[in-house]
Amino acid sequence: MIETIGLHTQHDTLRDPYLAATEIAHRYPLVDAITVATAEIDFVTFELRLKPYTELVHDGYGTETVRISVFRNGNILAIPIGPDRRWKHRFPEPFRQLCLWYPNDPPMLRWNWSEGLVDYVAIVHRHLLGEEFWRRTGDWPGEDAPHSQSVDGAHPILSLPLRLLAGLGLQ
């Protein structure tokens, strides 16, 4: 049994990124490999290879590589690495990080440090699989926020499960 550290804060991750990498690999079974690519006083970068779900291997989904950077100020970025492909939810230069949620969404629909780094890895993995699904079908596998337009405030949340999770009720 691996003794776990409180990966609920960026401080713990920065303090011992090698233990954090070990815990991620131990607690998220679809991690094929994880390394600490950079460990500085103000940020750490992990490089992960994430395997697809077994059911998706049969459909030709492959392993995805991503760098996750954790900063002392609490920011976190996930940047896919690999061949140049089309992306639906990825910011432009300079970082080209994944857009994992709409910034104006209610807190219940966004990740935060209280959920832990392993949950963030799971969100990134799900997103990478969603991007591949979108490249194959042209459809995003879930409710989608508006893109390529200026939106003030939150986007309209349409599906009942997300409305209930966000505390918006049935209206």
The CATH number of whichever domain residue 107 belongs to comes to 3.10.110
Which parts of 28-166 fold into alpha helices (H)?
Answer: 54-57, 117-137, 160-165
pLDDT of residue 31: 97
CA-atom Rg of the chain in angstroms: 17
Q: Residue 148 falls within a domain, yes or no?
A: no
Residue 76 confidence class, pLDDT cut points 50, 70, 90 = very high
Q: Residue 170 falls within a domain, yes or no?
A: no
Q: How many structural domains are present in the chain?
A: 1
Percentages helix, strand, coil for the chain (3-state, rounded to 5) are: 30, 20, 50
Quote the mean pLDDT of the chain: 87
pLDDT of residue 7: 59
Tell me what the mean pLDDT of segment 18-32 comes to: 95
Q: Residue 125 falls within a domain, yes or no?
A: yes
Range of the domain at 75: 10-143+153-165
Q: Is the pLDDT of residue 84 over 80?
A: yes
Q: Residue 2 falls within a domain, yes or no?
A: no
Q: Is the pLDDT of residue 126 over 50?
A: yes
